[in-house]
Amino acid sequence: MATGVSLLEACSGPEEQYLVQPARRKPGSPLPGESTWVPGMCQQCSAGCGIQVRIVDGNARKIEGNPNHPVNLGGVCALGQSALQELYNPDRILAPQRRVGDKGTGTFADTTWEDGLNAAVTAIARTSPDHIAIIGADRSGLTGALWRRFSEALGAPAPAFVEAPELEVERRAAQIVLGVTDIPYFDVSHSDYVLSIGSAFLDRWRSPVHYTRALAEMRRGRPGRRGRFVQAEARMSLTAANADEWLAVRPGAEGILARTLAGILLSSGKIEKENAARYRNLFPEDPPGLEEGAALCAVAAEKIERIATELAAAEN
C-alpha cells in the first residue's frame, strides 16, 4: 500500500489526514476520487429518458441527462435528478426478502439472491403451469417481451401487466381512435397547432422532458413558422402556464369541450368524410351545440368557435 499524508493546521494543533490508495489498480479503472460517467435509463416514470450517472469511488453522486439519447437529448427533469434520493433512502430494501411470519403480518427477513432464486425455481417447478400467474410492470419494451417469452416457455397464461391506470386509458383510446394498442406518440415539434384537453404534458404524463423540448422546437425550431399551443384545463398547471392560451374549463367538462369543438368542425365541412364517419361511429349522439357546450364547460362560445376555426386552418 502507498500512503499519502497531508498535515493541516487547526485550532487544537496539527491534524493528520491519511489518504490511502491502492498500490495497484486495474488498467483503465478510475483513480480514487476520480469521476466516471455511466450511461443508464431513468425509471422514475415511463418516459425512459437516457441519463448518465456520475460515479466517484464506486458511489453514484449525480444524475444528468444523456445528450445522445433520442428521448431527452440531455434534459432531465427534477424527478429524474432526485432518483439518487431513492438510491440512498435509509428505508430502501437492500436485499431480497423472505417472509418469516404469518401471511399479512408483514414480517420479512433478508435473504440472498441465490436462496431467493432457488426458492422461486422450486416453487415454479412444483406448480402446474396453468396455476402460475406472472405479473409484470412494463408491458412494452424488452422487459415486457421477456415476461411474455418466460410465460410461453413455462406454458403459463399470458402475463398480466400492472401499469399506471392512465396508460390503460390511453391504450384503449388509441385502440378506438387509431386501431393500435400501443401508446401513441404525438409529434408536437412538427405541429402548427396543439390543442391539449386536460393533458398536462409538461408537468407529468408521458415524458415531460421530451415534450418540453418538442414544444420549444415547435415554437422556435422552424424559422418563420411558429406553432401555437392551447391548453384546456381546469387549473393553471405548469403546462397551462406555458401555453399561448389557457382555457379554464369547468372540472369534469373537458369531454364536453372536445365534443363541442368536434360539432363545430363537423358542421364546417372541413373534416374529411372518412374521419367524420369514424367520429360518428364512435359518438353516434349529436354533439352539444355551441351555446350549450359553452355553458356546460364554462368557456366563452366565441373562444370555442375561434379555436375550432384555428384548428381547422392549421396545416399540421
Give residues in contact with ligand SF4 (CB under 6 A).
Answer: 42, 44-45, 47-49, 72, 76-77, 79-80, 207-209
Identify which of residues 44 and 231 has a Cβ nearer to ligand SF4 in the complex: 44
CA distances to 184, 290, 306 from 246, rounded to whole Å, are: 24, 19, 13
Q: Are 257 and 233 in contact (CB under 8 A)?
A: no
Looking at beta carbons, which residue is closest to ligand SF4?
80
Q: From the CB of 52, what's the least distance to ligand SF4, in Å? A: 12
Identify which of residues 47 and 294 has a Cβ nearer to ligand SF4 in the complex: 47
Identify which of residues 65 and 288 has a Cβ nearer to ligand SF4 in the complex: 65
Distance CA 246, CA 235 (A): 9
Identify which of residues 34 and 187 has a Cβ nearer to ligand SF4 in the complex: 187
234 contacts: CB under 8 Å, gap ≥ 6: 198, 248, 249, 250, 251, 252, 254
Q: From the CB of 273, what's the least distance to ligand SF4, in Å? A: 39
Q: From the CB of 63, what's the least distance to ligand SF4, in Å? A: 8
Q: From the CB of 142, what's the least distance to ligand SF4, in Å? A: 16
Identify which of residues 69 and 259 has a Cβ nearer to ligand SF4 in the complex: 69
18 φ, ψ (degrees, to nearest 5)? -115, 130
Q: From the CB of 76, what's the least distance to ligand SF4, in Å? A: 4
Identify which of residues 11 and 78 has a Cβ nearer to ligand SF4 in the complex: 78
Q: From the CB of 203, what's the least distance to ligand SF4, in Å? A: 11
Q: From the CB of 93, what's the least distance to ligand SF4, in Å? A: 21
Identify which of residues 83 and 248 has a Cβ nearer to ligand SF4 in the complex: 83
